[in-house]
């Protein structure tokens, strides 16, 4: 087999997290996949994957090889598109990951308009609130709150934001409005889960004073949109990004509390830790469809945020 075919095979194994699933995608038997992977590792004299019966993970050498595979495969696909369709045509898959609230309120309409301009670009939108390994996720663009420290990634701020505590007017009328962070201990709080970790310790800063409060969870979810929905229904107090709940606050469906404090899920209460960022792999030759979408995203997103604030 040629090196390009081996790269396609290896990228498929990592994408599908297993040889059997990758083999089904490529039309190859498990035995053929195993033999080809062994031959690949023997060629370079290194182990590329750690394999168990249920899971595969990249070794350090495997991660280097995988990143190179993605770059080369993307570049070849882009050249093929140009040759086959002409320089002016843009086509191919565009894989975007975003938190659910942000994705539904802002990214969906942006993708809709982008698809109208470039109908041969096929968008894949993955909505989740988990911080993923961009290198292994297969995503072209990841939209996330906070920073992701990785020298192989480019991170650009899409919008400034901050964390706010919010609840429905009905809940506050029934349970009272907290005046200090300590008051939250007596309130029902809606708590995020991140990788099965309960984010029930909320951090506050007022001037130079820092305080951490372990709140009383009323409900848990790993979905930020569900947390917002529960807050709207009067189930408790939520710690949310202002971007997620701006329209609800403007329409008085939600009310912010403890506004004199800077708030966050972690001890880093810097403003930038709550900003919304666009993260993507650093590549010498970024496919044209990705470059165009990035430009379009940064052009359109501020207008949508402004519309949300005005409405």
Model confidence over 249-273: pLDDT tens digits? 999 999 999 998 888 877 654 555 6
In this structure, are 25 and 76 located in the same domain? yes
Tell whether the model's pLDDT for residue 248 goes beyond 90. yes
In this structure, are 175 and 188 located in the same domain? yes
Helix (H/G/I), strand (E/B), else coil: 158: strand
Looking at residue 285, its pLDDT comes to 60
Confidence bin at 151 (pLDDT 50/70/90) = low
Last residue of a domain, one of 51, 82, 113: 82
Mean pLDDT of 61-84: 79
Mean pLDDT of 286-301: 90
Domain count, the chain: 3
Are 167 and 216 within 8 A, CB to CB? no
pLDDT > 70: what percent of the chain? 87
Looking at residue 232, its pLDDT comes to 97
Report the length, in residues, of the chain: 311
Looking at residue 30, its pLDDT comes to 85
Q: Is residue 47 part of a domain?
A: yes
Reduced DSSP (H G I as helix, E B as strand, rest coil) percent helix, strand, coil of the chain, to 5: 45, 25, 30
Last residue of a domain, one of 82, 97, 113: 82
Are 101 and 232 within 8 A, CB to CB? no
In this structure, are 42 and 101 located in the same domain? no
Looking at residue 83, its pLDDT comes to 63
Looking up tokens 């033999």 gives 35
Top pLDDT among 161 and 178 is at 178
Tell whether the model's pLDDT for residue 86 goes beyond 60. no
Tell whether the model's pLDDT for residue 87 goes beyond 60. no
Q: Distance (Å, rounded) from C-alpha 166 to C-alpha 255?
A: 5
What is the tens place of the pLDDT at every residue in 19-60?
A: 888 888 888 888 888 899 999 999 889 999 988 767 788 999
Helix (H/G/I), strand (E/B), else coil: 168: coil
Pairing of strands 49-51, 56-58: antiparallel
Looking at residue 311, its pLDDT comes to 60
In this structure, are 241 and 166 located in the same domain? yes
Tell whether the model's pLDDT for residue 186 goes beyond 70. yes
Q: Is residue 20 part of a domain?
A: yes
207: alpha, beta or left? (left if phi > 0; alpha if psi -120 to 50): left
In this structure, are 168 and 123 located in the same domain? no
Q: Is residue 265 part of a domain?
A: no
Long-range contacts of 61-65 (CB under 8 A, 24+ apart): 63/135, 65/10
In this structure, are 279 and 153 located in the same domain? yes
CATH of residue 145's domain is 3.40.190.10
Q: Is residue 266 part of a domain?
A: no
Tokens (6 digits) for 146? 């906070």
Looking at residue 261, its pLDDT comes to 86
Looking at residue 136, its pLDDT comes to 65
Task: Identify the CA nearest to 41 among candidates 23, 58, 20.
Answer: 58
The residues facing 217 across adjacent strands are 189
Top pLDDT among 228 and 92 is at 228
In this structure, are 32 and 108 located in the same domain? no
CATH of residue 69's domain is 1.10.10.10
Tokens (6 digits) for 283? 């590549």
In this structure, are 121 and 104 located in the same domain? yes
In this structure, are 1 and 136 located in the same domain? no
Cβ contacts of 148 within 8 Å, gap of 6 or more? 131, 134, 142, 155, 277, 279
Q: Is residue 262 part of a domain?
A: no
For residue 154, give its domain range: 87-159+274-306
Query: By mean pLDDT, which of 9-13, 80-84, 302-306 is the weakest?
Result: 80-84
Q: Distance (Å, rounded) from C-alpha 26 to C-alpha 47?
A: 22
Most confident of 70-79, 119-128, 131-140, 153-162: 119-128
Q: Distance (Å, rounded) from C-alpha 271 to C-alpha 110?
A: 26
Looking at residue 292, its pLDDT comes to 92
In this structure, are 194 and 243 located in the same domain? yes
Confidence bin at 219 (pLDDT 50/70/90) = very high
DSSP for 206-252?
ETTEEEEEE--EEEEES-HHHHHHHHHTTS-EEEEEHHHHHHHHHTT
CA distances from 43 to 11, 39, 71 (A): 17, 6, 21
In this structure, are 146 and 166 located in the same domain? no
Q: Is residue 131 part of a domain?
A: yes
Looking at residue 254, its pLDDT comes to 97
Q: Distance (Å, rounded) from C-alpha 227 to C-alpha 195?
A: 16
Looking at residue 4, its pLDDT comes to 87
Looking at residue 274, its pLDDT comes to 78
Looking at residue 118, its pLDDT comes to 92
Looking at residue 275, its pLDDT comes to 86
Average pLDDT, the chain: 86
Confidence bin at 178 (pLDDT 50/70/90) = very high
Q: Is residue 205 part of a domain?
A: yes
């Amino acid at each position: 087999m040629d090196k390009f075919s081996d790269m396609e095979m290896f990228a498929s194994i990592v994408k599908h997290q297993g040889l059997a699933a990758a083999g089904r995608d490529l039309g190859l038997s498990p035995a053929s996949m195993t033999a080809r992977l062994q031959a690949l590792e023997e060629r370079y004299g290194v182990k590329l994957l750690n394999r168990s019966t249920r899971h595969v993970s990249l070794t350090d050498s495997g991660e280097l090889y995988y990143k190179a595979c993605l770059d080369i495969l993307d570049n070849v696909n882009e050249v093929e598109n140009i040759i086959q369709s002409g320089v002016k045509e843009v086509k191919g898959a565009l894989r975007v990951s975003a938190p659910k609230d942000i994705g539904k309120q802002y990214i969906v309409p942006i993708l809709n308009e982008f698809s109208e301009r470039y109908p041969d670009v096929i968008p894949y939108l993955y909505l989740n609130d988990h911080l993923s390994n961009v290198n292994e996720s297969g995503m072209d663009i990841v939209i996330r709150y906070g920073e992701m420290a990785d020298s192989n990634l480019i991170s650009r701020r899409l919008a400034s934001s901050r964390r706010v505590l919010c609840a429905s007017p009905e809940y506050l009328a029934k349970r009272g409005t907290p005046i200090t962070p300590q008051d939250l201990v007596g309130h029902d709080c809606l708590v995020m889960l991140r990788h099965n970790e309960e984010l029930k310790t909320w951090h506050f800063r007022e001037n130079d004073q820092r305080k951490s409060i372990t709140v009383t969870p009323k409900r848990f979810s790993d979905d930020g949109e569900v947390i917002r929905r529960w807050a709207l229904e009067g189930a408790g107090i939520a710690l949310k990004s202002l971007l997620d709940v701006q329209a609800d606050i403007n329409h008085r469906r939600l009310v912010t509390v403890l506004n004199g404090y800077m708030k966050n899920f972690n001890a880093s209460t810097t403003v930038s830790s709550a900003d919304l960022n666009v993260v993507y792999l650093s590549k010498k030759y970024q496919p044209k469809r990705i470059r165009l979408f990035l430009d379009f995203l940064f052009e359109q997103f501020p207008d949508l945020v402004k519309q949300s604030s005005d409405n």
